[in-house]
C-alpha cells in the first residue's frame, strides 16, 4: 500500500498546449484515489518559495480547452544549486507533499532527476514540449496542436504566395530537431523542408528551386526549422536565393511563439488525460524516476535519464515522401 497522501504537480520550461489538461488529469486522478493534490506555481522557483495551492476536482473545471498553463512557468537558476534544491525539499516537506508530477521537457526532467537522486523524493514526468524531442513517447503534449497550427498558417501563406508568384521561407520552431518542420511541411505540401538532421546544402536548394520554376510552379513554400544548418538564419537564406535566382521574389515569415499557443487539439487533450492518470497511478504503485509516454498507442514508462539522454529519431520515410511530393 502506497504511503503517498499528497502529490504536487507543476509545469516548467516552455509552455505547450495540453499542459492544463494534464494538470486537470493529475488533480482528478488524485481525487479519484482520495489523496490530496497541491499545485505548484512557477515551476521550480515556486517550489523553492513554497508557492503552493490546494487543488481539488472542482479547482480544474473549464481548463481542458485552455492553452498555456494556469500554474505558470518560470526558469530557476536557484534550483540549479544544491542550496536551492534544499530549500525546495524543505518547502515540500513543510507542506506534507510526498511526491511530484513534473510536466515539461528535457530541462524539467533533468532537474527532477537530480532532485530525486539527492533527496530520494518520488518524481514522475509528463512530457510537455511542442518540439517532440523526448525519447520514450511518440508524441509529447502540444506537438499535435502545434502541427495543426503551423499547417493552418502555411495554408494561408500559400494563398498570398500563389497570388503574387512568390517564394516564401517559413521558419518554424525546432532548434535541435526537425519534427515540426518535416511533418508540417509534408502536411502543407511544401516544396522543400530544411531540418537540422539533413544538410540539404545551398547548391541542392538552388537546384530544387530551379526545377520547381522549370516545371511550371509559379510559387513555392520552403519550411525551415530554426536549427537548420544551411545558413546562419532564414534571412541569410533569403538573400542568397535572391542573389542567385533573381527571378524569384522572396519573402520570409517567422512563425515564432504563435506555435506554442492556442486551444489544444482533441488528440492532445486525450493524451494529457491518459498521461495524468498513468503518472499518478505509477506513483501510487511505488514507481519513481520515470516519464510516462505513448508507445504503440499504449501508455508506457521510461526512466527519466533515458528520456533525457535519448535522441528522438526523425522519420526517414517522411523525408523520402517529401522528396517525391515535391516533384
The residues annotated with a catalytic role in the active site are 131
Distance of alpha carbon 80 from its chain centroid, rounded? 22
Q: Do the beta carbons of residue 133 and residue 298 sit within 8 Å?
A: no
Nearest to residue 169, comparing CAs of 222, 230, 219? 222
Which residues sit opposite 195 in a β-bridge? Answer: 198
DSSP-derived 3-state class of residue 72: coil
What does each C-alpha distance from 174 to 182, 227, 260, 291 come to in angstroms?
A: 10, 6, 12, 22
Q: Do the beta carbons of residue 59 and residue 24 sit within 8 Å?
A: no
The span from the CA of 50 to the CA of 147, in Å, is 36
If you write DSSP's letter for every residue of 217-277 in order, what string do you get?
A: -S-EEEEEETT-SSSSSHHHHHHHHHHH-TT-EEEEEE-GGGGT-SPPPHHHHHHHHHHHH
Q: Do the beta carbons of residue 23 and residue 299 sit within 8 Å?
A: no
And the C-alpha cell for 301?
A: 514508462
Segments in the chain forming alpha helices (H): 19-32, 43-49, 82-94, 106-119, 143-164, 179-188, 202-214, 234-244, 266-284, 304-309, 316-325
Q: What is the radius of gyration, based on Cα positions, of the chain? A: 22
**What residues contact residue 91 under an 8 Å CB cut-off, 6+ apart?**
47, 48, 49, 50, 52
Amino acid at each position: 500500500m502506497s504511503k503517498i497522501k499528497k502529490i504536487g504537480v507543476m509545469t516548467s520550461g516552455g509552455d505547450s498546449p495540453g499542459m492544463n489538461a494534464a494538470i486537470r488529469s493529475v488533480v482528478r486522478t488524485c481525487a479519484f484515489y482520495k489523496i490530496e493534490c497541491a499545485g505548484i506555481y512557477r515551476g521550480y522557483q515556486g517550489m523553492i518559495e513554497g508557492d503552493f495551492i490546494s487543488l481539488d476536482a472542482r479547482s480544474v473545471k473549464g481548463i481542458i480547452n485552455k492553452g498555456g498553463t494556469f500554474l505558470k512557468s518560470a526558469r530557476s537558476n536557484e534550483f540549479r544549486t544544491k542550496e536551492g534544491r534544499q530549500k525546495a525539499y524543505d518547502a515540500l516537506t513543510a507542506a506534507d507533499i510526498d511526491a511530484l508530477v513534473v510536466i515539461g521537457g528535457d530541462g524539467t526532467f533533468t532537474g527532477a532527476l537530480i532532485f530525486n537522486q539527492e533527496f530520494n523524493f518520488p518524481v514522475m514526468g509528463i512530457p510537455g514540449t511542442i518540439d517532440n524531442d523526448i525519447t520514450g513517447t511518440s508524441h509529447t503534449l502540444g506537438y499535435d496542436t502545434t502541427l495543426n497550427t503551423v499547417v493552418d498558417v502555411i495554408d494561408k501563406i500559400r494563398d498570398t504566395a500563389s497570388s503574387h508568384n512568390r517564394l516564401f521561407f517559413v521558419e518554424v520552431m525546432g532548434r535541435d530537431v526537425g519534427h515540426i518542420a518535416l511533418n508540417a511541411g509534408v502536411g502543407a505540401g511544401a516544396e522543400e523542408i530544411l531540418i537540422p538532421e539533413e544538410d540539404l546544402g545551398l547548391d541542392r536548394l538552388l537546384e530544387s528551386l530551379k526545377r520547381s520554376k522549370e516545371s511550371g510552379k509559379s510559387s513555392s513554400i520552403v519550411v525551415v526549422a530554426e536549427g537548420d544548418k544551411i545558413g546562419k538564419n532564414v534571412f541569410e537564406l533569403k538573400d542568397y536565393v535572391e542573389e542567385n535566382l533573381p527571378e524569384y521574389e522572396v519573402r520570409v515569415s517567422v512563425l515564432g511563439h504563435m506555435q506554442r499557443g492556442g486551444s489544444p487539439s482533441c488528440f492532445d487533450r486525450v493524451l494529457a488525460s491518459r498521461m495524468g492518470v498513468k503518472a499518478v497511478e505509477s506513483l501510487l504503485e511505488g514507481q519513481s524516476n520515470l516519464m510516462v509516454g505513448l508507445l504503440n498507442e499504449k501508455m508506457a514508462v521510461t526512466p527519466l535519464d533515458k528520456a533525457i539522454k535519448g535522441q528522438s529519431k526523425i522519420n526517414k520515410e517522411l523525408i523520402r515522401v517529401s522528396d517525391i511530393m515535391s516533384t
